[in-house]
Structure 1
Amino acid sequence: MNIKDLIRSNVKALKPYSSARDEFQGDTNNMVFLDANENPFENGVNRYPDPKQRSVKALLSLKKGIPEDNILLGNGSDEVLDLIFRVFCEPNIDNIITLPPTYGMYGVLANINAIENRKIPLTKAFQPNIEAITRAKCYRTKIIFICSPNNPTGNSFAKGKIEYLLKNFDGIVVVDEAYIDFSKSESWTSRLSEFPNLIVTQTLSKAYGMAGIRLGICYASKQIISVLNRIKPPYNVNALTQQKAISQLEQDDVIQKQVEQILKERDILIEKLSEIDYVSKIYPSDANFVLAEVDDATKRYNQLIEKGIVIRNRTTQPGCENCLRLTIGTPDENKILIHTLKSI
């Protein structure tokens, strides 16, 4: 496979914007910067941030064992996903494949970029339907989006199915691993060197508890990352986000303890849900949430809202009729949730 053949022609011909800080390479100590029309009076954020986010990437590279040239950072994963659309999908011509029920932004971004979204529902076991995907794809299918562990179902997809798509699809396979830190499954980042068409996205919004700073991470081949860098906004990750990310990424022990606590609380919630009469099914979870089938999802959702508890009603999603998605909270929040579920 030649990745270059998948890239939009206008993107290949694009001359990227070069910011003032892109042009300067060297030691920033004791330098006088008069190149970017900034306010010169120091307040901590009067200078533009590093457009290449070198310090954050260096830390991620060390933690993940992945070269910095294989990493792109974005203003949340949604920006990363949008950049992938812009690089590979020709508006009003190409199409993508998504596997509902899944993360809704894939479809939203397809609409924004004028790309057909071919929806191939997961099987009853919430696994990719390889036969249906094979029938649906064509020479204009550029990307298959795979969310594993999946949102909203919570399960991880069989590795053999993802591997089959990587080997037999002449396009880009995006594996969204927003919830990978809660799973026992190995990240697909460990296999980037095997598959030139593999893109793995992760985030600091879930396990790392940094949803407020909006930092998405993309791991891919050096060739793909190079093209994504050509079209990204020059200063897409602000200085405060970069500083906070570094601080949190250095707290491995704290994060690990929080993840362990969340997993423990997830097991408790699953056990307590099984004791509730109107809960008919609890799906296995590799994430920090649980999908549960109830007698009437809309009724139960509204009852919880009245009690001051907000969850997600997923009953409109394919294969999720009368299903509620419950995020794992703190021990005290989970006790309130369980008490309320038993009382309504």
Structure 2
Amino acid sequence: MKIRKDIDLLPSYSANEFQADIILDANESAFNIPLSLQNIIADLIKNYTFNRYPPINAFNLRTTIAKRYNLTANEVQVGNGSSSLIANVCQLFAGSENKILYPAPSFSMYETYIRLAQCTPVAYPLTENFDLDIPALIKKIELEQPNLVIICNPNNPTGNLSKPEQLELLLQNTSCPILIDEAYIEFSCNKSMTAYLEHYPQLIILRTFSKAYALANLRLGYILGNSNFIELLNKIILPYPVSGLNLAIGNCVFENLILYQAQIQTIITERNRVNEALQQFGFTTIKSATNFIFFYGASAQQMQSLATTLAQAKIAIRNFTNNATLKHGIRLTIGTPNENTQVLQLIKQYTVQEGR
């Protein structure tokens, strides 16, 4: 079979699939969508026209999203999960002569999407504490002259946040397109860059319904940018990229975001509780603006032993203990209060038994 020569070199995306009793590895919401919203969606499904193609331009959902950010529908597009939109953006700059800068360590799929677009991937390192070094990044952009720069804010898998004023400094000193992936921004206490869209035409913002809005199963995301950029993006997005039912559910969700406030606040409160407990147990945590916590210990052996203990207890976590760049750490999604208590009790028992 003759295929592209570079495809064999691409890593496959992997996710933990062992049978866990407590699932804290994929950064999904700890809660289903609010019950009152479930009832609205149930009524919608009863009367849904399944035999017709979905609206090709997703105008209703794009308009609803646009209103929230004081934009027009022409400055919004939706996709089959935010990941598909990242891939689409990279395709806009396809060609081996083009460069795309991406953060490291960060979301593992950035490099894959860049390579699929046959662009040259150029990693820029985060600091020792996984923060953006804005002056260094500005110099890197000046040196490499990339066609696109990707920023993950808050960063995954470490959870830390760059403040808007830091990112504005980058926008003020660069002219190339800047794609900011804000998949977890709802957990950051309103540190989004959406208010800066009208001032910086090179700014592109990516968002998802999968995390704070508890729709990971639906695969729905959206992107915000100036109308010229969205018009170009539309040229490469395949027809009917999102099912009509998903569009309708997404519209219901966006019209009822207030229903999510309580559970988002619960996740933030639980995140703070889990973070404090992990520090008391002797682990180092990265200050998180997401629905997960990244933490590490004194050695790779210690963290691998803890990861094994959690797996034996049928608790799914994201294990980076073989990754020195990520300090052999563990990423722990914030679960329900009861799940978090069970996990913390187990970690406490582990530290006591290990004499830590």
Question: TM-score if structure 2 supplies the norm length?
Answer: 0.79
Measured after TM superposition, the shift of residue 248 of structure 1 is 2.1
Query: Is 1:236 aligned to 2:241, yes or no?
Result: yes
Which of 329, 336, 341 does residue 335 from structure 2 map onto? 329
Which of 83, 106, 109 does residue 110 from structure 2 map onto? 106
SS at match of 2:294: strand
Amino acid paired to 2:74? D
Task: Name the structure 1 match of 2:200.
Answer: 195
Amino acid paired to 2:326? C
Measured after TM superposition, the shift of residue 43 of structure 1 is 7.6
Measured after TM superposition, the shift of residue 132 of structure 1 is 3.5
Q: Mapping of 1:1-344 within 5 angstroms? A: 44-87=49-92, 89-137=93-141, 138=143, 140-277=145-282, 279=283, 281-295=284-298, 296-317=302-323, 319-344=325-350
- Distance in 2 (alpha carbons) for counterparts of 1:232 and 1:317: 35
Rate the CA distance shift 1:294–1:125 in 2: closer, same or farther, 3 A: closer
User: In terms of Rg, which structure is larger?
Assistant: 1
Amino acid paired to 1:209? A
Rate the CA distance shift 1:70–1:253 in 2: closer, same or farther, 3 A: same
Percent identity, aligned pairs only, is 29
Rate the CA distance shift 1:43–1:124 in 2: closer, same or farther, 3 A: closer
Instruction: Note the alpha carbon deviations across 1:161-201, whole angstroms, 9 max, x for none.
Output: 32232222231101111111011243211111111111000
Deviating beyond 6 angstroms after TM superposition, the runs of 4 or more aligned structure 1 residues are none
Measured after TM superposition, the shift of residue 225 of structure 1 is 0.5
Root-mean-square deviation (Å): 1.9
- Distance in 2 (alpha carbons) for counterparts of 1:323 and 1:303: 14
SS at match of 1:98: strand
- Distance in 2 (alpha carbons) for counterparts of 1:120 and 1:244: 38
Residue segments in structure 2 that go unaligned for 5+ positions in a row: 1-46, 351-356
- Distance in 2 (alpha carbons) for counterparts of 1:259 and 1:326: 17
- Distance in 2 (alpha carbons) for counterparts of 1:91 and 1:336: 50
Structure of greater relative contact order (alpha carbons < 8 Å, 6+ residues apart): 2
- Distance in 2 (alpha carbons) for counterparts of 1:297 and 1:253: 39
- Distance in 2 (alpha carbons) for counterparts of 1:341 and 1:121: 31
Rate the CA distance shift 1:300–1:46 in 2: closer, same or farther, 3 A: same
Instruction: Note the alpha carbon deviations across 1:283-342, whole angstroms, 9 max, x for none.
Output: 111111111112322221122111100111234556421211110011121111111212
Rate the CA distance shift 1:234–1:318 in 2: closer, same or farther, 3 A: farther
Question: TM-score if structure 1 supplies the norm length?
Answer: 0.82
Instruction: Note the alpha carbon deviations across 1:236-279, whole angstroms, 9 max, x for none.
Output: 010121122122223333211110110111111112212324x2
SS at match of 2:315: coil
Q: Is the 8 A contact 1:118 1:136 kept in 2?
A: no
Measured after TM superposition, the shift of residue 136 of structure 1 is 3.3
Alignment coverage as a number of residue pairs: 300
Q: Is the 8 A contact 2:153 2:180 kept in 1?
A: yes
Q: Which moved more, 1:236-245 or 1:163-172?
A: 163-172
Rate the CA distance shift 1:261–1:129 in 2: closer, same or farther, 3 A: same
SS at match of 1:211: coil
